Structure 1
Amino acid sequence: MSLLQLQEVQAYYGGIQALKGISLHVNEGEIVTLIGCNGAGKSTTLKSICGQVKTKGSILFKNIDISSWQPHQAAMEGIAHVPEGRRIFPKLTVKENLEMGAFSVKDKKVVKERMEQSFAYFPRLRERLNQTGGTMSGGEQQMLAIARALMMKPKMLLLDEPSMGLAPVIVDQIFEIIGEMNRTGMTILLVEQNAYQALQVANRGYVIQTGEIIMEDDAKTLLVNDQVKEAYLAG
């Protein structure tokens, strides 16, 4: 069953059209990846789902049209967005960052339980609990950004370039954790320039180019597609 459906979605930044009528869907329990070059519209797609940019077309989440929603409404409904560049609170501690992720939860016991669940994925964050976010490594900050999103107990996780700027060994760890989260039932829409890593972990994939979906298929099929290999997997 489709948890998320985009139908002919157009997105605009002022007078500039960034998405030119894209359609895609994410089934419950899937990892779906959206790959493409810089400026293709990947991040804009995630921002459209979250209500951060002006759109036309239909965005359905759990069969509810959310295309006119504000970001806080999407978050409260269960859509957690981990933006490109991590965007943690650099002057807050790890603990405080995680608590911000659960800002709408009043029960302190529930907050603590969710924090423990986050530490199961990211044990290093427990060790850094009282360290300010801005003093941690890029990999640790990415872990914190994802863990903060998990504090919402989301129904869908939107990940924007989780491997950006990270060392290869950390990238491997992040993608391993993405796979682990999915195996527990988490539905994930993954935007990623590292097409090889993304297609390795995903069930299905879409290729976006200049604001249009030009290809979609099973991830394994896209991995061996000559056009995809030449454009996104070379080197």
Structure 2
Amino acid sequence: MTILQINNIETYYGGIQALRGISMDVKKGEIVTLIGSNGAGKSTTLKSISGLEKVKTGSIFYKEQEITNKPAHQTTLIGMAHVPEGRKIFATLTVKENLLMGAFSVSKKSVIEERMEMVFGLFPILKKRIDQKGGTMSGGEQQMLAIGRALMMKPDLLMLDEPSMGLAPIIVEQIFDIIRQLNQEGITILLVEQNAYQALSIAHRGYVIQNGEIVLSGKGTDLIENDEIREAYLA
């Protein structure tokens, strides 16, 4: 089953065209990665899906329902979660308060507590930091908090934008292990990542974006072996 279908979308920043007819799909249960250089359009693609940027032409379907230009707070309510580049946690709020913000539409206290314990099971350090303000934590801990906040909505599709950016190698390994685990537990993942080798290593499929256009796609393992990809992104 295709959970996300993107058809020929174009997105602009003012008069500058950022996406030029992007088409791609994500099937339920997959990890799909989008790789490309800085400024290629990776983050804009995720923002266009989640409603943070307006799509000028084209269409986006989630679970066969059109969501083109649906506001971000509404896409969250239908089962999509977007962890943006740079984490974007609430720096002045505690870990617990950040997680509660992730469950803004959940009214049952027991459900919130259950999901919070699930997050603490994935990221035990967050339980130890529960009363610490987000802005005082390390980069790796903030990334865990950003993912944990997204998981509080119990999404079917989790979109991650550069989760390894600025993190030490050992923390990067932990983050990618968690991504694998979440996928094994049934969450579909759309991953934007500059660490192309790491991303393609765990992805079922991948897309390569250049100058706002998809130029190549295939199985993650096949893209790793592609000479052009190796030279451009894996060297």
CA distance in 2, matches of 1:10, 1:65: 16
The Cα of 1:53 is off from its aligned counterpart by 1.2
1:175 lines up with 2:172 in the alignment: no
CA distance in 2, matches of 1:100, 1:54: 24
Secondary structure of 1:190 counterpart: strand
The Cα of 1:73 is off from its aligned counterpart by 1.0
Q: Is the 8 A contact 2:18 2:212 kept in 1?
A: yes
1:165 lines up with 2:173 in the alignment: no
Q: Structure 1 stretches (4+) deviating beyond 6 angstroms?
A: none
Secondary structure of 1:3 counterpart: strand
The Cα of 1:97 is off from its aligned counterpart by 0.4
Secondary structure of 1:33 counterpart: strand
User: Percent identity at matched positions?
Assistant: 65
The Cα of 1:114 is off from its aligned counterpart by 0.2
Q: Is the 8 A contact 2:94 2:133 kept in 1?
A: yes
**Mean alpha-carbon deviation: is it higher for 116-125 or for 210-219?**
116-125
Structure-2 residue corresponding to 1:206: 207
The Cα of 1:219 is off from its aligned counterpart by 0.2
CA distance in 2, matches of 1:30, 1:174: 17
Structure-1 residue corresponding to 2:193: 192
The Cα of 1:68 is off from its aligned counterpart by 2.6
Structure-2 residue corresponding to 1:129: 130
- For 1:99-178, what aligned pairs fall within 5 Å after superposition? 99-178=100-179
Q: Is the 8 A contact 1:79 1:154 kept in 2?
A: yes
CA distance in 2, matches of 1:30, 1:138: 27
Q: Is the 8 A contact 1:13 1:54 kept in 2?
A: no
Q: Is the 8 A contact 2:30 2:203 kept in 1?
A: yes
CA distance in 2, matches of 1:105, 1:134: 25
1:98 lines up with 2:90 in the alignment: no
TM score, norm. by length of structure 2 = 0.99
Cα RMSD (Å) of the superposition?
Answer: 0.6
Structure-1 residue corresponding to 2:32: 32
Q: How many residues align?
A: 234
TM score, norm. by length of structure 1 = 0.99
Structure-2 residue corresponding to 1:228: 229
CA distance in 1, matches of 2:121, 2:69: 36
Residues 147-188 of structure 1: CA deviation (Å, up to 9, x unaligned):
000001111000000000000000000000000000001001
Q: Which amino acid aligns with 1:117?
A: M
Q: Is the 8 A contact 1:202 1:219 kept in 2?
A: yes
Q: Which amino acid aligns with 1:60?
A: F
